[in-house]
Structure 1
Amino acid sequence: MEAIIIDADNLQQELATATDKFVDLLGKAPDNYFNSTPFEGSWTPGQVGEHVLLFLSGIESVLQLPGSDVARPIDQYRSLLKDIFLNFEKRYAAPQNVKPSGGPFDKGQLIGSIKDKAANIEKDIKEKDLSRICTGAPFPTIGEMTGLEWVYFGIYHLARHTYQLENMQPYYIK
């Protein structure tokens, strides 16, 4: 098995870039539409933001779990996660623990909380051994993942919801 070296600086930058793109779009949602559903079957921008906050909180928690050695490539599920979350043709139901409430949401407070969670994960990228399996929190349909895979899940999931916000924008331009 070939050893994979984690470039923490690059990984931090990827997460920061994904977070910045998401937060920028979330911030552009007009206040009078932030808690309004733009079209049938959609979440509000505020609900998308709360969902992102919830899954980032989950990643932060998982990275604190005890780790165990891995007998497989530490990024084995990276491409699978990318295929799942960057396939914008498919829709998925959010697991109950990351389903947003009905709101209403305060845009500034929500954006600040998302930035804080992402900053905590960026700190963990530098301080934690992401090559270890995060035991005790299996990912649905995949199983236990390494810290590195959890961070990539966050990056790809942020990109998915950035795309979701991009698709809402035409409904705000009247």
Structure 2
Amino acid sequence: MKTTLQTNIVETFKNLSEIHSKFSETALNTVPFEGSWTAGQTTQHILKASSGYAALFLGKTEKTNREPDLYIKDLKALFLNYDIKMESPDFLLPEIIDYDKEKQTLELLNREADLLTLSAIHDLTLTCLDFQLPGFENFTILEWISFTLIHTERHTHQLNEIYEIVNKV
């Protein structure tokens, strides 16, 4: 389970880093169309959404009395449905500023390293009790890390679309 999860972490962040690296500093901060986030804002949203796991995993947990990956299928069905427009909770909204590409690149590398470490040192089957995604029961550590990977995959898709728009001549 841990090896597969770590492979998924590496692959997800590789895909994200590849598209992020294609943006020039200017394109990273260009609004592709009215009402859209810039690539920099989208990346910042990913960084915010994939943080805080160390504290969550060290918080209150309990032994899980169900399959530890039960909600992953539901998360994929929801977050990888690109026809659904979702609203971010306020605490995950990116600031409306120009973002530094190099700083974000380093933060992405750090986030990947953090997730790899957390997945290696924690019992992935424990259920976390300190935070709950609206509409779901409490997640296991495996489901939380999987959530961040699925959420990142959704926004990597969005970054690819933004790239195509801002680089049209």
Q: TM-score, normalised by structure 2?
A: 0.94
Aligned counterpart, 1:173: 168
Deviation at 1:121, TM superposition (A): 1.1
Pick the aligned partner of 1:17 from 11, 17, 20.
Answer: 11
Deviation at residue 65 of structure 1 after TM alignment? 2.1
Of 125, 135, 140, 1:141 maps to 135
CA RMSD between the two structures: 1.2
Report how many residues are paired: 168
Is the partner of 1:15 in helix, strand or coil?
A: helix
SS in 1 for 2:158: helix
Distance 1:25 1:60 in 2: 27
Q: Does 1:83 align with 2:77?
A: yes
Taking a change above 3 Å as real, the CA distance of residues 83 and 60 of structure 1, as seen in their structure-2 partners, is: farther
| Over 4 Å off, 4+ runs | none
Correspondence 1:40 to 2:25? no
Alpha-carbon distance in structure 2 between the residues aligned to 1:60 and 1:124:
7
* SS of the residue 2:29 aligns to: coil
Report the alpha carbon displacement of residue 130 of structure 1 after superposing the two structures with TM: 1.1
The aligned residue for residue 154 of structure 2 is 160
Quick one: which of 120, 128, 137 aligns to 1:126?
120
Identical residues among aligned pairs (%): 27
CA distance in 2, matches of 1:80, 1:32: 37
Whole-angstrom CA distance in 1 between matches of 2:124 and 2:79: 21
SS state of the match for residue 27, structure 1? helix
- Deviation at residue 60 of structure 1 after TM alignment: 4.0
1:173 shift after superposition:
2.9
Q: Secondary structure at the match of 2:33?
A: coil
Q: Which residue of 2 aligns with 1:51?
A: 45
Gaps of 5+ in 2: none
Map of 2:25 onto structure 1: 31
Tell me the TM-score normalised to structure 1 length: 0.92
Q: Which residue of 2 aligns with 1:103?
A: 97
